[in-house]
Amino acid sequence: MSKADLPSVLVLGDQPEPRLGALTGRARVRFVDETSLASQLPSADVLLVWDFTSTAVRGAWPESGPRPRWVHTVSAGVDHLLGPRLVASDTVVTNARGIFDQPIAEYVAALVLAMAKDLPSTWALQGRHEWRHRETQRLAENRACVVGSGPIGRAIARTLEALGITTALVGRTRRDGIHGTEDLDPLLASADWVVSVAPLTDATRGMFDARRFGLMRPSARFINVGRGQLVVEADLARALAERWIAGAALDVFEHEPLPPDSPLWDTPGLLISPHMSGDTIGWRDDLAAQFVAMYDRWEAGQPLPNVVDKERGYVPGG
């Protein structure tokens, strides 16, 4: 097979460049940026969205004519891709499900421990050379509500339960071991910890608002490692300032990077991190290896894993 006959793999974003050497001689790999994406899509068989912060695919996707048969994004969320034209097409969309489960679960556990044991204050007091004895929170017999029942949510639940925290998982529909959305409000009212890791859909956008924060216990803490748009940030800031809840941690935001003048930086009781909960040393290599393994299956005509239901906006099931 000549080089011209090889499948064309278009890669959106190249910093740092993914390790795709295993595709040498099997695909023509081309890198594009947002400005050239639209002109290159009709000639591509596969689109690898390496820059998972880009929303360019939504606007660049062709309304008709040739287009990639498969789009893969190196992220768990797919809302940045799913414009109406891509949803309506017969193109298969897959995500990086499986890569981030345990790292995010570990990060959530670290946040829970840090807040329960008041580690931010300990570090600040050390910087001031100030010895101040305090009592901290015991986690055993606490209750957590994890909103989002996919692999990441399940990994978070397992990790929190290892700390002695009784955990309820909430998904879109009630099934064995999973609560439905109709159970969410009473679970919020009894939880010590609320963890948001739901996919962003029309049904979940802004789901954590003043009403939901008002349901939570004054001693409860809220953590969002899902999508920033799940939270009405002004309502969370108010809930913290008025002590409706005891604290919160956000790793994702409606607008990223978080602007320096955002009032969230100075919101009392809020711990901010820059969208890093799933990013461990070597994670980019893991993402590239996952794509190569999926390309092996695509090349052989085998079914792909992690296929997104484009209407729902996530990978359904297990």
Active site residue 275: yes
Contacts 24+ apart (CB under 8 A), 276-279: 276/107, 276/251, 277/100, 277/103, 277/104, 277/107, 277/108, 277/225, 277/251, 278/76, 278/99, 278/100, 278/103, 278/104, 278/107, 278/225, 279/103
How far, in Å, CA of 74 to CA of 290, rounded? 9
Q: Which helix (H) or strand (E) holds 94?
A: strand 92-94
Angle at 63 (CA atoms; ends 62, 64), nearest 5 degrees: 90
Separation between Cα atoms, residue 184 and residue 114, nearest integer Å? 25
Q: Which residue of the set 256, 297, 299, 311 is catalytic?
A: 256
What does R_g of the chain's alpha carbons equal in angstroms? 21
Q: Quick check: is 227 catalytic?
A: yes
Token digits of residue 37: 């994406």
- Omega cis (within 30) before 186: no
Active site residue 256: yes
The helix/strand/coil state of 92 is strand
Q: DSSP string of 115-147?
A: HHTTHHHHHHHHHTT----------TT-EEEEE
Q: Which of 26, 205, 275, 312 is catalytic?
A: 275
Closest CA to 263 of 242, 239, 243, 233: 233
Strand partners, 21: none
Residues labelled catalytic: 227, 256, 275
